[in-house]
Amino acid sequence: MKMNIVILVFVFLNITNLINGGITSKYVRQAQPSTEMPLTTFPSPAGHNSPEQVHISQGDYNGRGIIISWVTPLNLAGSNVVTYWKTVDGDVKPQKKRTHASTSSYRFYDYTSGFLHHATIKGLEYDTKYIYEVGSGESVRQFSFTSPPKVGPDVPYTFGIIGDLGQTYASNETLSHYMSNPKGQAVLFPGDLSYADDHPNHDQRKWDSYGRFVEPCAAYQPFIYAAGNHEIDFVPNIGEPHAFKPYVHRYHNAYKASKSTSPLWYSIRRASAHIIVLSSYSAYGKYTPQYVWLEQELKKVNREETPWLIVMVHSPWYNSNNYHYMEVDLVISGHVHSYERSHRISNVKYNITNGLSSPVKDPSAPIYITIGDGGNIEGIANSFTDPQPSYSAYREASFGHAVLDIKNRTHALYTWHRNQDNEPVAADSVMLHNRYFLPVEELASGNV
């Protein structure tokens, strides 16, 4: 099964230098830590026991399910109920339905969470707008989402891509910048959410403030998360020996629908994309549960139905930044706090005796995106290797987000947007050609 792509590269040479390996942008954001927004920036909504931190994610394998999650201070009657209905035209009365959420809470050091509600709704109609309400009485809050189109090879769909967001003023720029683009339908998020672990005793209040911060986006379009190192929260010295405890309590996904045994690795199909989420911080050697699951999942990939195969994993496999140094269409990672896009490369010829350890261009290999540039408290990573490696196509030390606009089975436009530009400006832009359906030679960088 070949999983190849060809790319067209469009670059803005007035802001860049052409190096051996590609383009290193002249635009460099200062590297000092970003200023975090105080806890009071995003207060809880008014009203008694009002739902907050509302967010949604795909709730099944093929896009006919949704997981709606929210938090309430108290576990009162009706606080775990979600009411939903399809939008209708004219005077037709909507047919409202209700479902109950599972409810839990957790303790972490000296913190006790609110009540975490997760409701899974299945059997949705494709490509349909739904209204939903959570809460009860005068504290009801209303939101909406649109279900994806039915899975198919020529179904257009637009994903936003944001990583390592945190909750700084730069994070707010990134999220606002993305939300200004009306085309975004769902967000691929390769890890590092709240950065609560950057505070004393992994201050869990920062998980609450993060949930309130992203709610204006995350309550209306699904976020597909991979877990990053800032989600581990393994602190045995303060009595917290269970990794990923806050993350798995707060952010549910439909991992069982893809036959996974852990919420840290799973897959979904959405429109014309098959998305595989992996865990950088779980065992992945041969015969481990994650490895065995991935072997089986790759056998289920059907490029005739979902031509775009995307892998999301937090720690990047290739990047040319000195920070954290060391057949798929696109591999999306975060972790390194800058932006970089590779050529289609692999090091499959490497073995321990031949010394061929440098990645080389490979028409059957993926493009690797490192997008840990959401705006987190630790600041930008601006120390790139020099000269630029041959596998690196474009890199820039600034904050931003990306958009993957799938057109059909053969073409998808990928763009990256720095925070300092207006949304229509793409600092980096690549037209992806799906090699499975369009087996043509790659054009040289900068040619159309």
Q: List active site positions.
A: 324
Angle at Cα 228 formed by Cα 225 and Cα 232, nearest 5°?
A: 115
How far is the C-alpha of 257 from the C-alpha of 266, rounded, in Å? 8
Nearest residue to 334 (alpha-carbon basis) of 132, 191, 127: 191
Nearest residue to 191 (alpha-carbon basis) of 250, 232, 221, 234: 232
Side-chain half-sphere exposure of 181, counting CA atoms within 13 A: 30
Q: What token pair was written down for 36? A: 């975090």
Q: What token pair was written down for 195? A: 């950065």
Question: Residue 15 carries which side chain, given as an amino acid letter?
Answer: I
DSSP-derived secondary structure for 102-135: EEE--EETTEE--EEEEEEE--PPTT-EEEEEES
The 10 Å Cβ neighbour count of residue 259 is: 13
How far is the C-alpha of 106 from the C-alpha of 343, rounded, in Å? 44
Is residue 423 within 8 Å of 288, Cβ to Cβ? no
How far is the C-alpha of 230 from the C-alpha of 232, rounded, in Å? 6
Is residue 246 within 8 Å of 112, Cβ to Cβ? no
Q: In what order do the strands lie in the sheet with 52-58?
A: 52-58, 66-72, 115-121, 102-104
Helices (H), 194-326: 205-218, 245-250, 289-300
User: Strands 392-397 and 22-28, how do they pair?
Assistant: parallel
Cβ neighbours of residue 354 under 8 Å, at least 6 residues apart? none
Nearest residue to 377 (alpha-carbon basis) of 163, 108, 116, 171: 171
Q: Is the peptide bond before 387 cis (omega within 30 degrees of 0)?
A: yes
Q: What token pair was written down for 395? A: 């890199």
